[in-house]
Structure 1
Amino acid sequence: MANSGVMKLVCLVLACMVVAAPHAVDALTCGQVVSKLAPCLTFLRRGGSVPGTYCIAMRSLNVAAKTTPDRRTSCGCLKNAYKSVSGINVANAAGLPRKCGVNLPYKISSSIDCSKVR
């Protein structure tokens, strides 16, 4: 009988732990990063005025990258995308966040060391 009471207590404690456990938060993925900034490709190649849709995309990415791992993922994805897409103008890529009033903790470039992003 005492054993039955202990088992009930263990089950109750485990149930409380499951209910009280923090909900898992989805991490930012490369697919999300690239899809958010895909509308900016024309500007990144040709420059010119920055349409509002580009800035909305840039702000959305900045908001989505809330943690250091997310910012590092974002950085690495942008770096890889930068290398794989031809015709991106270095100055346009580096200047896009500033033109949109977004403060990224790194420059968009093919040479950024994403492991140093905080």
Structure 2
Amino acid sequence: MASYSNLLSPKKSLNLLLICTVLAVALPAEALLSCSTVFSSLEGCATYIVLGGRPVPPECCSGLKSLISTAKTIPDRKSFCSCIKGVAYSATPEELARAAGLSRRCHARVPFKISPDVDCSKVK
């Protein structure tokens, strides 16, 4: 039976570290951005999108910009897109127009079209 000291020898530890590093580089990145993160970041936009008629709240724009900067990887941006697309299906045309206009009003570049018809698989 092997002892713990033999299992954790410097050479075996180095080999294990090397294997883990190779696997981490070889495996595709998965989205770390959840819909709950997306929705909590955009919480300040809800009243404007639903009710309209007033200026976009500053916390909406700061949340949107923070979310865009958080979505650094393609899987994160695709996840962001999928979360928004899911909500867009139940939005009225007026709500969709206000949501789509946030990019311009907040001076932030949303990396996809806000629409129930957007193809999130093509988001880069």
Which TM bucket (shorter chain)? 0.7 to 0.9
Aligned to 1:46: 51
**Partner of 1:31 in structure 2?**
36
> How far is the alpha carbon of 1:83 from its aligned partner?
2.2
Aligned to 1:90: 96
Unaligned runs of 5+ in 1: 1-6
What SS does the corresponding residue of 1:89 show, helix, strand or coil?
helix
- Of the structure 1 ranges 31-40 and 80-89, higher mean CA displacement relative to structure 2 is found in 80-89
1:99-114 aligned within 5 A: 99-114=105-120
RMSD: 3.1
- Report if the CA contact (8 A) 2:31-2:76 is conserved: no
- 1:4 maps to none
TM-score, normalization: structure 1? 0.77
Q: Identity of counterpart residues, as a percentage?
A: 36
Give the partner amino acid of 2:57: P
Equivalent residue number for residue 65 of structure 2: 59
The separation in 1 between residues aligned to 2:19 and 2:94, in whole angstroms, is 48
Are the aligned partners of 1:30 and 1:73 in contact in 2 as well (CA < 8 Å)? yes
TM-score (norm 2): 0.73
* Amino acid corresponding to residue 63 of structure 1 in structure 2: S
Partner secondary structure for residue 100 of structure 2: helix
Deviates more, 1:7-16 or 1:46-55: 7-16
Amino acid at match of 1:45: V
* One-letter identity of the residue aligned with 1:13: L
Aligned residue number for residue 5 of structure 2: none
**CA-to-aligned-CA distance 1:3-29 (integer Å, 9 cap, x gap):** xxxx9564142355389787x997111
Give 5+ residue unaligned stretches, structure 2: 1-7
Using the TM superposition, give the Cα deviation of residue 51 of structure 1 relative to its aligned residue in structure 2, in angstroms. 1.3
